[in-house]
Structure 1
Amino acid sequence: MSFATRTTTTLLRPSRLLITSASRTTPITGRLFSSTAVSMVRISEAIKKDHDDLREAHRRILDATTHDEKVRWRNQFTWELARHSIGEELVVYPAFEEHLENGKAMADHDRAEHQTVKEELAKFENLDPEDPKFSSTLDNLWANLDKHMADEEANDMPALDSALGSEAHSDKLVRSFSRTKKFLPTHSHPNAPDQPPFETAVGLLAAPIDHIRDLFRKFPEDAKTGELPP
């Protein structure tokens, strides 16, 4: 393996696994891990990847033709957005403050935008697709989120990448961001603190409860793998 390549372990959504014996098939709960070799990436690329995943989940909600499909992609969207938002607040925004001249103002602005998104997500994440408020709540949420993501990609992240300098420094931040997301809540908690260390403590308390809740929610890949419904 070259110096510029490392092996990472990626945490996937909690999933129900099946163990088959001669007498019965038993569902058990567990976490899925996958190991892949990836090259160093900049923090702007990692954030853009998360944003693209959110754009895809949003598009899938809009394109879904069945109630079940909409529910699955609503859950996927919630899972992605909750982890991404808190991961930025714990890892990326402190990096703004440390490395950028106007980083404190930039971080405070982005945290305020996150708070609006969290409040909208808290309203949306349990709405039934047949609820009259489903589409309008998603539209309001997406309008705020889309603007926030575009601004980060055009201004915030290029500035941070430039300040970090070498690819290795940026890659170190990416690894911290990726590790942190493994232990974060997967649902919206708009009343929780939005800065470390208090956000870290609250997140660690909320995450196990959220992960248990996720075991009883349907996700897109469940339909593909044939898992038993919760």
Structure 2
Amino acid sequence: MMLLRYLSQIGKYFLMWKEIFSKQTKWSVMKGLIFKEIDDLIIGSLGIVAFISFFVGGVVAIQTALNLNNPLIPKNLIGYATRESVILEFAPTFISVIMAGKMGSFITSSIGSMRVTEQIDALEVMGVNSLNYLVFPKLIAILLYPFVIGISMFLGVFGGYVAAVYGGFGDSTDFIDGLQINFEPFHVTYAFIKTFIFGILLASIPAFHGYYMKGGALEVGKASTVAFVWTSVMIILVNYILTQLLLA
């Protein structure tokens, strides 16, 4: 029974995608919705992303420095380890899991509240494709999500630089030299490929749980929790698959 239930949910999820792109809302209306979603989902996330990225980058640099007990190990390893950690995993994956809580909860609760208050039913009665009206602007706004991750990468490395240099673990030359050692441009491409796919998951899974939820106001909170869990699980799973495909 549990397996059938999950298969049914997966089928409904893919049907949702079909409905999103059918019967488009007028562009004059959609344009305003897209800009609102960009403000809520992208601009509204920059503060927390900047704060976390800067300090976690600093922590990575400090932890790397504290483990360099052998004097034969060059100090530029601090910059190298910070760069690799931030670009490959921290910025695209760790930040996306955090955004599953912030963006995901917001998307699920906003759509779920409309379901509870029968606003979605009202849209359908007026002949509006509610999935296109509610979810499509979020998908378009989330196309700017790689921009957020790009800022996260920069601030993560900068935070590592500040922690390493001003914390007395190495000088500026060593850290910058470490940033340049064996730099592989494809790692940045890999990170943005992951980011794009994670962004689609961040918009679609919470929207699915909000749109198809049943019950009252209490169920909105439960739907937000379930959406966060499933979005996080899918991000980790897709991260593993993409790493195997692109880096192995």
Higher strand share: 1
Quick check: which one's helix share is greater? 2
The answer to which structure, 1 or 2, has the higher relative contact order (CA under 8 A, 6+ apart) is 2
Larger-gyration structure (1/2): 2
Q: Same fold (TM over 0.5)?
A: no
